[in-house]
């Protein structure tokens, strides 16, 4: 009897937690299809006649369309450059560097300790002097700190998981280090590397502070979304909900990938 009560109590708690995890998101999605008169009422409505008005408002709003474009350019460029520079570095770090490995890894991690404000303020002045202020190129350059360091940090364990015997066999066959990296290590580590890139993508896609301080004139999507609240006295909750949904879609697409990435990282490394 006690056992039954306990296990049903556990189910209730877990169901409640799943509810808490998902309801805010689902409620926002619901809100995105509501008219303002269905939102601004004391008793929340679960059933209402849905409308696409909010999405139309958003997609017709030039600043949001531009923000989407800017986000794609900035995030795309900084993640691709980050991967091109970070992945090879991570491979060498995992396989060829011995004495300095710990120090280099700590250096990469310590960049994550840096408060974003400490990066933003000197770069404001520098960019004002160089004419890079409010440009996408300037923002991409600063984002490289995040992308390169995150890619390196997450790719080193991915390469360490590649069985050493394969690479040793390739070396016996006379393959140079570059060939081993491109033909053997890279394809085998690819699934975990992809997870690392997705994680990096999510980090910069969500970034607000640097985008707000360095390129407010060429705002990315988070900056545009953050500014919607201050559109006058009447808060356009439907529009806010709709823009939240648009902001959320790209990262949420990757949820399955994140899951398999976690599963992969948790498996004991083969040595």
Partner 1 sequence: MNNRRFLFWTLTPGFAVLAILALISIAGALYFSVMDRSLRYPDYHFAGLYNYQRLLSDRRFLNALQISATWEIVTVVGSLVVATLLSVLIFETVKSFWLRNLICFAFLAPVLLPRVAAAFIWRFLYSPSLGLINYLASLLGFGPVEFLANPSLALMSVAIVDIWQWGLFFTVIMLKLLETLPKDPIEAAQLDNAKTWEIHAFVTLPMLKAPIISLALVKAVESLRSFDLIYVMTGGGPGTATETLDLYAYQAGINLGGRISYASAMSILLLVLTTIVFTLIWRGIRKWSV
State which of positions 231-260 bind partner 1 (CB under 8 A).
237, 240-241, 244, 247-248, 251-252, 254-255, 258-259
Q: Which is nearer to partner 1, 62 or 178 (CB)?
A: 178
Smallest CA-to-CA distance from 37 within 247, 234, 246 is with: 234
Q: What part of residues 158-217 is at the interface with partner 1 (CB under 8 A)?
A: 176-178, 181, 202, 205-209, 213
What's the closest the beta carbon of residue 194 comes to partner 1, in angstroms?
16
CB of 264 within 8 A of CB of 191?
yes
Q: What is the spatial distance between Cα 189 and Cα 157, in angstroms, rounded to a whole number?
A: 10
Q: Which of 59, 72, 144, 188 binds partner 1 (CB under 8 A)?
A: 144
What sections of 161-207 are H helices per DSSP? 164-172, 177-179, 186-205
Q: Token pair for residue 219?
A: 């705002």
Q: Which is nearer to partner 1, 14 or 56 (CB)?
A: 14
Q: Which of 74, 75, 91, 200 binds partner 1 (CB under 8 A)?
A: 91
CB of 151 within 8 A of CB of 82?
yes
CA angle 151, 70, 145 (to 5 degrees): 25
What's the closest the beta carbon of residue 206 comes to partner 1, in angstroms?
4
DSSP 3-state of 203: helix
130 forms part of the interface with partner 1 (CB under 8 A): no
Q: What part of residues 45-84 is at the interface with partner 1 (CB under 8 A)?
A: none
> Which span sits near partner 1 by CB under 8 A: 55-63, 91-99, 160-168, 187-195?
91-99
Q: With 0-12 CB in 10 A as exposed, 13-18 as middle and 19+ as buried, what is 182?
A: middle
Q: Which of 56, 137, 163, 263 binds partner 1 (CB under 8 A)?
A: 263
> Which span sits near partner 1 by CB under 8 A: 58-66, 72-80, 85-93, 183-191?
85-93
Q: Which of 44, 50, 163, 187 binds partner 1 (CB under 8 A)?
A: 44
113 forms part of the interface with partner 1 (CB under 8 A): yes
Q: Which is nearer to partner 1, 59 or 124 (CB)?
A: 124
> Which span sits near partner 1 by CB under 8 A: 22-30, 50-58, 59-67, 160-168?
22-30
| Residue count, binding to partner 1 (CB under 8 A) | 94
Q: Which of 138, 189, 225, 236 binds partner 1 (CB under 8 A)?
A: 225
What's the closest the beta carbon of residue 27 comes to partner 1, in angstroms?
6
What's the closest the beta carbon of residue 97 comes to partner 1, in angstroms?
7
Q: Token pair for residue 251?
A: 């990262």
Q: What is the spatial distance between Cα 265 and Cα 228, in angstroms, rounded to a whole number?
A: 39
Q: Token pair for residue 222?
A: 């988070």
Q: What is the spatial distance between Cα 48 and Cα 81, in angstroms, rounded to a whole number?
A: 46
Q: What is the spatial distance between Cα 199 and Cα 69, in angstroms, rounded to a whole number?
A: 20
Smallest CA-to-CA distance from 127 within 140, 114, 113 is with: 140
Directed axis angle between helix 62-95 and helix 136-160, to 10°?
40
């Amino acid at each position: 009897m006690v056992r039954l009560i306990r296990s049903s109590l556990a189910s209730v708690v877990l169901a409640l937690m799943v509810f808490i995890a998902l309801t805010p998101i689902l409620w926002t999605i619901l809100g995105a299809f509501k008219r303002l008169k269905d939102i601004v009422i004391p008793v929340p409505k679960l059933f209402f006649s849905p409308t696409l008005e909010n999405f139309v408002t958003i997609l017709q709003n030039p600043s949001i369309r531009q923000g989407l474009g800017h986000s794609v350019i900035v995030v795309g460029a900084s993640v691709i450059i980050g991967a091109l520079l970070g992945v090879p570095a991570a491979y060498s770090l995992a396989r060829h560097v011995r004495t300095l490995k710990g120090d280099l890894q700590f250096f990469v991690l310590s960049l994550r300790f840096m408060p974003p404000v400490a990066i933003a303020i000197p770069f404001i002045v520098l960019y004002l002097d160089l004419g890079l202020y409010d440009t996408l190129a300037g923002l991409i350059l600063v984002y490289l700190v995040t992308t390169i360091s995150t890619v390196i940090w997450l790719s080193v364990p991915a390469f360490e998981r590649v069985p050493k015997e394969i690479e040793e066999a390739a070396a016996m066959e006379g393959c140079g280090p570059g060939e081993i990296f491109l033909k053997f290590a890279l394809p085998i580590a690819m699934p975990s590397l992809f997870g690392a890139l997705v994680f990096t993508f999510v980090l910069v896609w969500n970034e607000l502070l640097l985008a707000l301080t360095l390129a407010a004139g060429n705002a990315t999507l988070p900056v545009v979304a953050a500014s919607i609240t201050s559109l006058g006295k009447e808060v356009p909750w439907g529009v806010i909900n709709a823009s939240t949904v648009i902001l959320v879609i790209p990262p949420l697409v990757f949820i399955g990938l994140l899951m398999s990435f976690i599963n992969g990282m948790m498996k004991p490394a083969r040595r």
